[in-house]
Structure formats: structure tokens, C-alpha cells
Chain A
């Protein structure tokens, strides 16, 4: 199972919006709405930010939103804050009953 494709890095200034893409195939992202997004600041454990494409767990700011079109899922962070600087990973359930992660995207808040 190949990893989902994410851009290695994205950046934005405080207050701006950024979008991170996550491209899979018809065997994962394209077929299942079981796409999640995780935030991982350096040296810490991952934190769930979005599940099932667009749902936010309690406590996650509504500045974080998710969507999907075809084989590509996206995470949008609006009103960027310095505390958002972290690595972000998408994941998707697959037709093989496994889970595949993206390679990760480093978000820099300038």
C-alpha cells in the first residue's frame, strides 16, 4: 500500500489561510469517507484534528476544516496562528482493510 501524497511543506502568515492536500487512489480516499487529519508538533504525539473527512473532535477550533473531492482530501486552516506550526498527516482506510498515512506536511507560520 503506497503512502498518500502530501506536499512536503506549506507556509503562511498569521491570519492567513492554508490548505494541505492529500491525494490517494480509488482504493482509499476516493472510495471511503474514512479520512482523518492529525497534527504533530515536534517531539509530541499526534493529535486528531479531523475525522471522516470533515468532522472535528470536541476541542478542535473551527478554524480547522476538511473536505474531499474524488481521490483528494484537503485540510484547510484559516486564521493561522503561530501555535498551528506543526507536521500534519492525513490517513485513510483502504480496500485491503488497512490504514495508510500520507508522508506528512510541515506547516510553517511565518
Chain B
């Protein structure tokens, strides 16, 4: 079945550093989504990507939809303590565009040292 593989599994960085994480799949996706989940909360959408090659920013966050449609990356610049959390990539099942039926990666846990 479809699977999303995220790397790295966890990161421990110094405040102010840039962060990069990625997500790969053996299947093609039409949409890539990046979420952040804080402890005790549901995931919150950070960035949505709808087109191969698309590069989108949201403040200090930048994400790209890979040309092959099988990968995506998320960069965070100048990290701050509130960036701590678990970051998930996700994509709709079976090449659809229904963003309510998502496959999620296993997450990248980010810890930031002040």
C-alpha cells in the first residue's frame, strides 16, 4: 500500500539554526501537506502543495513539492523554541485530491535548545 517515509525521525538543534526534513514515497501524490502537532493537540496545517515543483512559503517555513511527485521537503529557517513539536507530511489516498482522506508519515520530532 501507499506509505510515506519521513526523515529524520528526530532532530535536536540550537535556537537560530535552520532545519530541513523530508518525506518520500514509492507512490505518486497529487497533493502534499505539512502539519505540526503539539502535545495534547491535533495536527495544524502549515503548508499545502498542489503542483509538482511548487515552492511555497509560510513565514519562516518553506516547502517544496518534488518534481517526481514522490517527495517533498520542509525547511524551517532561524528556529525558535516554539518550533518544538512533531512535523508530519501527508497526502491524499490513491492519487485523489480529497484532503480529508490522508496518509500520514510517521513524523519528525523537533527539539530546539534555547
Question: Do chains A and B stick together as partners?
Answer: no
B→A interface (CB under 8 Å): none
